[in-house]
Structure 1
Amino acid sequence: MIQLQQTNSENADFRKLVQDLDKYLAVCDGDEHGFYDQFNKLDQLDHVIVAYAENVPVGCGAFKKFGSDSVEIKRMYVKPEYRNQGLASMILRELENWAESLGFAEVYLETGKRQTEAVAFYQKLAYQVIPNYPPYENMENSLCFQKKF
């Protein structure tokens, strides 16, 4: 049974999952990891979801305010052994519902082109590719998405 918990970036389980995510991204991003890492700090995330399977933290995601009526999805991650079970979709939909309940009308996110599974995942959930927004506008590896509620 999967349980989703709303929390913030002070949550110890979230912090551990993000450590795992950062190790994965360091490999995917290669030499560009330092650039991306500076935009993924945890001290500013008040809207975090942690997914638990049998009380074990197995996935996470977050959002932060992006514009007057939009948010940016950050720190999406599911442990490899729990992938392809619908967890990422559950987490993302919970984040979208939470943002919408707070009055936000659209969601943005950035992912790396080399993360082909992530790209396909966001497209499957009706995210549209848009021109790269700052600070990613000059990053060849970045792919930015938008979804309106």
Structure 2
Amino acid sequence: MNIKIQQADPHSSESQLLVEKLSAELAVITGDNGKSHFNAQELNNEHSLWVLARDEAGNAVGCGALRPLAKHIAEVKRMYSDRSVPGVGAALLEHLETWAKSMGYREIRLSTRVINSRAVAFYHRCGYAQIQNYEPYVGRNASICFAKML
């Protein structure tokens, strides 16, 4: 299956639909929809990116964002695949990593919930190592943070 990743408007109806699906899944898995740690307005600068993954028919089947965390560190936010097409998550993450490297980022970080075992295993498979929780996740035992050097 051919997956196309392209920059998109985080406020578009397709983007919002995927974000709502992600929030609903997170609420079921973790008891929290994750919305409090992401604001699409944070993507309104040249050092941030919002992308959609599309299947062969052009349907939006996944999304993801990068935003600056520090000068040379980007953070992955709102990564989601509806799992209708195998490989969407890996394609999204690879695209985000490539873009981050081209923008001068040297490291990517992210946070997920410990209970979200599917996400934890995915990030391990993609070469991310667990790190100490960074702000705003410090002291939150339900969160697990990861990083990958680019």
TM-score (normalizing by structure 2): 0.90
1:52 aligns with 2:51: no
Aligned to 1:40: 38
Residue in 1 that maps onto 2:80: 77
Q: Tell me the percent identity.
A: 33
Q: 1:9, 1:44 within 8 Å by CA — same for their partners in 2?
A: no
Match of 1:119?
A: 120
Q: Which amino acid aligns with 2:134?
A: Y
Matches within 5 A, 1:70-109: 70-82=73-85, 85-109=86-110
1:83-130 deviation per Cα after TM superposition (whole angstroms, max 9, x unaligned): xx1110000000010111011110000011111111011011110100
Q: Structure 2 counterpart of 1:49, which letter? A: V
Is the partner of 1:44 in helix, strand or coil? helix
Amino acid at match of 1:116: S
Task: Please give the TM-score of this superposition, normalised by the length of structure 1.
Answer: 0.91
Separation (CA, whole Å) in 2 of partners of 1:122 and 1:130: 12
Cα separation, 2, equivalents of 1:81 and 1:93:
19
How far residue 12 of structure 1 moved from its aligned partner, in angstroms, is 2.6
CA distance in 2, matches of 1:28, 1:95: 25
**Match status 1:61 vs 2:59:** no
Q: Match for 1:43: what amino acid?
A: Q
Amino acid of the residue matched to residue 73 of structure 2? S
User: How many residues align structurally?
Assistant: 144
Mark the runs of 5 or more structure 2 residues left unpaired by the alignment. Answer: none
What secondary structure is seen at the aligned counterpart in 2 of 1:55?
coil
Cα distance between partner residues in 1 of 2:51 and 2:84: 19
Whole-angstrom distance in 1 between the partners of 2:35 and 2:6:
25
Do the aligned partners of 2:53 and 2:62 also contact (CA within 8 Å) in 1? yes
* Deviates most, 39-48 or 14-23: 39-48
Q: Which runs of 5+ in 1 are unaligned?
A: none
Instruction: Using the TM superposition, name which of 15-24 and 41-50 deviates more.
Output: 41-50
- Contact kept, 8 Å, 2:3 with 2:91, in 1: the verdict is no
| Residues 17-32 of structure 1 mapped to structure 2, 5 A cutoff | 17-30=18-31
Q: Is the 8 A contact 1:59 1:76 kept in 2?
A: yes
State the alpha-carbon separation in 1 of the partners of residues 84 and 9 from structure 2.
Answer: 24
| Counterpart code for 2:67 | K
